Amino acid sequence: MSRRKFFALGGGSLLAAGGGIAEGKREAKLLETTFKKITGLGLKQPIRVLHLSDLHASSVVPWWLISEAVRIGLSHKPDMVFLTGDFVTGGDFQFKDYPKHLAALEGQPNCYACLGNHDLPYWPEHKPMSVARRLELDLKSVGVKLLFNQREDIEVAGQRLRIAGLGDLWCKEVKPEECLDRVDREMTDEIPTLLLAHNPDTKKRVADYRWDVMFSGHTHGGQLVIPVLGWRPILPVEDRSMAEGLHDWRGRKVHVTRGVGNLHGVRLNCPPEVSLLDLS
């Protein structure tokens, strides 16, 4: 069930029963910092990644929350920063405000982003330029490179890495053939490939391509987790086993962060997340 449909069908009543709307609004602004390790990449020394997603700038996600998530993440001295989509929710905010709230990223090396399903439509409030194009310009202004079915080979701490970013699955913009090598292609020089893809369900679309770790968001961790039952009624993915966290999948890793923002201004037993991962 989608988040919008859940609330339209009376999800607020269930939220009230499960812990209260007031508590849900409070928790939506309580950032949690998590740390995970990914091994097996053959790196000579660990590389730290800051992974943020689903900032959802809107009337219910304050700018200070987005700025604070960036500040907290950078305080842990990452080597790379990955932003995996849904920078906006709709047209109820000003694009001109985005760069100043991501300004802390200026000067931070190796910052990359991909787009989510909320980032690709043409919102009437912002014509004639698409949301995606505006976001690309805003991100570029603070040193973040948007990868849209593109890749870059870089060197971090003396080690070669390939960073690839896909278009969004729901928007039918996933084109792995433009940025990834097929597994059946003979390779003479393999390097670890880190893949940015907003929706974790994208993994099935890229099963026949070479990548080692996929970084995703989209789920919000379910946003609402009903106490005791652990039920996530509004998890918008086919593979419900990947609501959040680090997962093994066919010899690879998939990391799903709960994200920073939200829809409708509430979270329950599912706080916003600043994710840090040490790769080795």
Q: What is the pLDDT of residue 9?
A: 47
Task: State how beta strands 150-156 and 159-165 pair.
Answer: antiparallel
Query: Which domains are assigned to the chain?
Result: 3-279 (3.60.21.10)
Q: Read off the pLDDT of residues 212-246 as tens digits, 9 standing for 90 and up.
A: 999 999 999 999 999 888 899 999 999 999 999 99
Q: Read off the pLDDT of residues 185-211 as tens digits, 9 standing for 90 and up.
A: 877 678 999 999 999 999 999 999 999
Nearest-angstrom CA–CA distance, 251 and 106: 35
| 3-state percent breakdown (helix, strand, coil) of the chain, nearest 5 | 25, 25, 50
Q: Phi and psi (nearest 5°) for 127? A: -65, 155
Nearest-angstrom CA–CA distance, 257 and 198: 10
Q: Burial-class residue 81 by CB neighbours within 10 Å (0-12, 13-18, 19+).
A: buried
Q: What is the pLDDT of residue 12?
A: 53
Q: Among the residues of the chain, which ranges form H helices?
A: 3-8, 11-18, 21-27, 63-75, 98-101, 131-141
At 195 the three-state DSSP class reads strand
DSSP state of 102: S
Q: Which residue carries 């091994």 as its tokens? A: 39
Strand-pairing partners, residue 101, are none
Give the residue ranges of the chain where pLDDT is below 70. Answer: 1-19, 91-95, 121-129, 188
CA distances from 171 to 2, 95, 120, 201 (A): 15, 21, 7, 13
Cβ–Cβ under 8 Å, residues 2 and 211: no
Q: What is the pLDDT of residue 142?
A: 97
Q: Read off the pLDDT of residues 9-23 as tens digits, 9 standing for 90 and up.
A: 445 555 555 557 888
